[in-house]
Amino acid sequence: MTTIATATLPKNVQYPQYDRSQLRSRIVHFGFGAFHRAHQALLTDRVLNNVGGDWGICEISLFSGDTLMSQLREQDHLFTVLEKGADGNQPIVIGAVHECLNARLDSLAAIIEKFCEPQVAIVSLTITEKGYCIDPATGKLDPTHPRIIHDLENPTLPQSVPGILVEALARRRERGLPPFTVLSCDNIPDNGHVVKNAVLGMAEKRSPALADWIADNVSFPGTMVDRIVPAATPESLAEIATVLGSTIPAPSVANPSFSGWSKITLSPGDPPGRQRACR
């Protein structure tokens, strides 16, 4: 397989201008989809190019995406975004991702322990509305969801995103570590409240004391995110291959005219330079 590391790419390709060896998993992200690659990962890459730092991303996928994660590892976690505009196409190699974990390739236990590493400050999510396991009729955690039922019976080896977040926060609390910020980047109304309701709903069923600690200490910012990232088609993939002169896995196409990310509620764990990157 041709990789970014082995391919000879055109001279107009933008490469990371920072030392990737300094990156740590300060951000852990659920959902390595095209939108995340062309939005949060690209903006984090832009922050690193602007101000440096160690704010790397660890990508998490649970029960799918193992092929994509394998390809990402073979490329040293590099991938490309093609920004299309009236003035031409700008291919960008994104270097902000430096690690990935998959439940099939690794284990759920390894994924949960990743969230417990002391340097982790933000857990971000693009998992669609279904991933929060919320009952749309009540706006609260759905206790009849199969994975929620599993997680309540197996709290230390959960399978749902709310269950994993609660178990990770419980372990951080037990170890005397500060909590991470839970940052939903899904384009759904009141996304911060949605994920907060899911996490607190799970925690309340496990331990009222744990639920109180999460409510008092964990930040669930509300966000508004926007970027035009068309779904990949055979035509767009062929166009990217033509621009790059090579077929490389995990590319994304985006419209550069607008890329918005407004965090309504700020938290002290924000990476430096984020506001500048989002303009």
Lowest mean pLDDT among 129-133, 184-188, 275-279: 275-279
Tell me, yes or no, whether 214 lies in a domain: yes
Tokens found for residue 239:
């166009």
- Answer yes or no: do 14 and 100 share one domain: yes
- Answer yes or no: do 134 and 230 share one domain: no
Query: Domains in the chain: how many in total?
Result: 2
Tell me, yes or no, whether 269 lies in a domain: no
In this predicted structure, the answer to whether residue 268 has a pLDDT above a threshold of 50 is: no
Tokens found for residue 273:
């330079």
List phi, psi (to 5°) of 124: -110, 160
Beta carbons of 46 and 10 less than 8 angstroms apart:
no
Tell me, yes or no, whether 158 lies in a domain: yes
Tell me, yes or no, whether 278 lies in a domain: no
Q: Write out the residue range of the structural domain in which residue 70 sits.
A: 1-106+225-255
- Answer yes or no: do 93 and 140 share one domain: no
- Answer yes or no: do 60 and 140 share one domain: no
Structure-token match 């160690």, residue found:
54
Burial 77-114 (b: 16+ CB within 10 A, else e): bbbbbbbbeeeebbbbbbbbbbbbbbbeebebeebbeb
H or E element at residue 109 = helix 108-115
CATH of the domain at 96: 3.40.50.720
What does the pLDDT look like over 12-66, one tens digit per residue? 888 899 999 999 999 999 999 888 998 899 999 999 999 999 999 999 999 888 8
- Answer yes or no: do 212 and 247 share one domain: no
Q: Work out the burial of residue 162: count CB atoms within 10 Å of its CB; fewer than 13 is exposed, 13-18 middle, 19 or more buried.
A: buried
- Answer yes or no: do 144 and 67 share one domain: no
- Answer yes or no: do 29 and 133 share one domain: no
3-state SS, residue 50: helix
In this predicted structure, the answer to whether residue 278 has a pLDDT above a threshold of 50 is: no
